[in-house]
Structure 1
Amino acid sequence: MSRRAFIRWLLAIGAALVGLSAFFSQMVKKKFMAEDQPALSSENPEPSQAAAQPSAEPLPTGPLMSYFILSDLHISVGDPLTGKKLRQALDDITHFDGPVDAIMLTGDLTDSGTERDYKELRTIVNEYKLPPVHANMGNHDYYTIWINKANNWDQAAVPNGKSDEVSREQFKKFFGYKTLYNDFTTKGHSILLLSQEAYVQERPEVGEGAWYSDEQLAWFKERVKALYQPGRPLFVMTHQPLPPNGTDGGTHQLIRAIQFRETLKPYKNVFVFCGHRHQDFQNGTPHYVQETFHYFHNASVGRTLNRAYQQEAKNKAQGIYVQVFADKVVVRGREFSNRTFLEEANWSIDLQKAQA
Structure 2
Amino acid sequence: MEHSYTSPTEQPIIRFQVITDTHITTNPEHVHNLQFGQALRDIKATAPDSVGIMHVGDLTDSGDDKEYAEVHRIWSENRMGLPDLLVTSGNHDVADQPWRKDAGTCDWRELLGNFMDKTGMPGHYHDHWINGYHFIFLGTEEGTNEFADLSETQLIWLDAKLAEKAASGKPKFVFLHQPLKNTVAGSSETQGWYGVNQDEEMKAILNCHPQTILFTGHTHWVLVSPNTIFGGNGSATMFNASSVAYLWTDEDVKKAGSEGFFVEVYEESVLVRGRDFTTGTWVEEAHFTVRNALASDQSGNQY
TM-score bracket for this pair, using the shorter chain length: 0.7 to 0.9
8 Å contact kept, 1:139–1:209: yes
Mapping of residues 75-94 of structure 1, within 5 Å = 75-78=24-27, 80-94=30-44
**Is the contact made by 1:278 and 1:299 (CA closer than 8 Å) also made in structure 2?**
yes
Secondary structure, in 3 states, of the residue corresponding to 2:17? strand
Which structure is larger by alpha-carbon Rg, 1 or 2? 1
Q: Which moved more, 1:206-215 or 1:64-73?
A: 206-215
- Unaligned residue ranges in structure 2 (runs of 5+): 1-7, 184-188, 298-303
1:64–1:344 CA distance, 2 compared to 1 (3 A): same
Q: Which residue of 1 aligns with 2:4?
A: none
Q: What is the CA-CA distance between 1:175 and the residue it aligns to?
A: 2.5
Which residue of structure 2 lines up, in the alignment, with residue 269 of structure 1? 211
State the distance in 2 between where 1:354 and 1:252 align: 27
How far off is 1:226 after superposition? 2.1
Q: Tell me the alpha carbon deviations over residues 64-102 of structure 1, each in whole angstroms, 9 at most, x when there is no partner.
A: 111000110011125700011101100001111563110
Task: Give SS of 2:70's match.
Answer: helix
The answer (yes or no) to whether the contact 1:190–1:235 under 8 Å persists in 2 is: yes
Separation in 2, partners of 1:145, 1:207: 7
Q: CA RMSD in A?
A: 2.4
Q: 1:164 to 1:317 in 2, by over 3 A?
A: same
Q: Determine the C-alpha separation between the residues in 1 that align with 2:22 and 2:47.
A: 23
1:253 is aligned to 2:195: yes
Residue 149 of structure 2 aligns to which amino acid in structure 1? Answer: W
Output one character per residue of 1:163-212: Cα deviation in whole Å (capped at 9) or x when no partner.
Answer: 1111111111122233110111111011100001111xxxxxx4411101
Q: Could you tell me whether the CA contact under 8 Å between 1:104 and 1:135 is conserved in 2?
A: yes
Contact 2:87/2:121 (CA < 8 Å) preserved in 1?
no
Structure 1 residue 108 corresponds to structure 2 residue 58? yes
Which whole-Å CA distance do the structure 2 matches of 1:279 and 1:153 have between them? 27
CA distance in 2, matches of 1:272, 1:189: 14
Structure 1 residue 122 corresponds to structure 2 residue 72: yes
Counterpart-to-counterpart distance in 2, 1:139 and 1:231 = 33
| 8 Å Cα contact 1:240/1:274 also seen in 2 | yes
The CA distance in 2 between the partners of 1:173 and 1:229, in whole Å, is 36
Separation in structure 1 between the aligned mates of residue 249 and residue 174 of structure 2, nearest angstrom: 25
**Residues 228 and 347 (structure 1 numbering): CA distance in 2 closer, same or farther, change over 3 Å?**
same
Identity of aligned residues (%): 26
- Which residues in structure 2 correspond to 1:140-151 (within 5 Å)? 140-143=92-95, 146=98
- Residues 1:179 and 2:127 aligned together: no
**How far apart, in 2, do the equivalents of 1:111 and 1:277 lie?**
14
Q: Retained in 2: the 8 A contact 1:68–1:322?
A: yes
CA–CA distance in 1 between the matches of 2:61 and 2:290?
A: 34
Rounded Cα–Cα distance in structure 2 between residues aligned with 1:339 and 1:229: 38
In structure 2, C-alpha distance between the alignment counterparts of 1:353 and 1:108, rounded to whole Å: 34
Contact 2:180 2:194 in 1 (8 A): no
Report the alpha carbon displacement of residue 353 of structure 1 after superposing the two structures with TM. Answer: 4.4
Report how far residue 252 of structure 1 moved: 4.0
- Gap runs ≥5 in structure 1: 1-58, 155-159, 200-205
What's the CA shift for 1:319? 0.2
SS of alignment partner, residue 326 of structure 1: coil
In the TM superposition, what is the alpha-carbon distance from 1:293 to its structure 2 partner? 0.8
Cα distance, 1:60 vs structure 2: 8.5
**Given the two structures, how large is their TM-score scaled by the length of structure 1?**
0.72
> What do residues 238-266 of structure 1 show as CA deviations (whole Å, max 9, x unaligned)?
11010148xxx997401102111222222
Residue aligning to 1:45: none
Matches within 5 A, 1:234-313: 234-244=172-182, 252-282=194-224, 284-291=225-232, 292-311=235-254, 313=255
Aligned partners of 1:214, 1:354: CA distance in 2, in Å?
Answer: 24
Q: What is the identity, as a one-letter code, of the residue corresponding to 1:304?
A: L
**Paired residue total:** 278
Rounded to whole Å, the distance in 1 between the matches of 2:50 and 2:284 is: 21
CA distance in 2, matches of 1:186, 1:178: 16
Structure 1 counterpart of 2:273, one-letter code: R
Structure showing the higher helix proportion among its residues: 1
1:317 aligns with 2:255: no
Distance in structure 1 (CA, Å) of the matches to 2:277 and 2:74: 16
- Once the 2 structures are TM-superposed, how far is the Cα of residue 336 of structure 1 from its aligned partner? 0.8
| 2:164 equivalent to 1:212 | no
Question: Which residue in 1 is equivalent to 2:186?
Answer: none
* RCO higher in structure (CA 8 A, sep ≥6): 2
Residue 220 of structure 1 deviates from its aligned partner by 1.2
